[in-house]
Amino acid sequence: MPRVAETRALPVSLRDGFDYITNVANWRTYWPHLLDIPEQDRTSWAKPGDTARVVLEIRSRPVELKMELEQFEPYSLVTYSSTQEGLPPFHHERHFREKDGSLDYTLVISFQPRSGLSAIVDRLFVARTVRGSLVETLDNLERIFRDRPP
């Protein structure tokens, strides 16, 4: 099962970083290729079983991503699953740790490649695209926290 992970020390405290990143109202500021958050005002993302939908631009077209929160341990860990058309289901982990007064933030996405020819695409291209998205997310957060702390 491919597992893609990226970690970065971000110039923000653990508490402020966690609160910013897990607040649905802030997702648009750092999430790459995010087009919409349908029902944003009614979306809760704070306890296991919460669900959210976002629309991302994937391969130059809008694709709805459906997410279900599995774990929400404040200032430590968030895990959730996601499904979207044309891609395998993903499992997401977000690890939050304090390190020297800043946020040591790790993003992990794992997935089971589909069968047949899709497995080749999943192993070669999906993993590369996922890594690029994680790096872009961290770049966006680093810029936000450096330029205008929460």
The DSSP call for residue 123 is I
User: Would the pLDDT of 97 be above 90?
Assistant: yes
pTM score of the predicted model: 0.93
Q: Provide the CATH number for the domain around residue 109.
A: 3.30.530.20
Contact of 79 with 94, CB cutoff 8 Å:
yes
| Separation CA 49–CA 51 (nearest Å) | 6
Q: Of 37-46, 110-119, 120-129, which has the strongest mean pLDDT?
A: 37-46
Domain count, the chain: 1
Give the model's pLDDT for residue 26: 97
Domain that holds residue 8: 3-147
119 CB burial (10 A radius; 0-12, 13-18, 19+) = middle
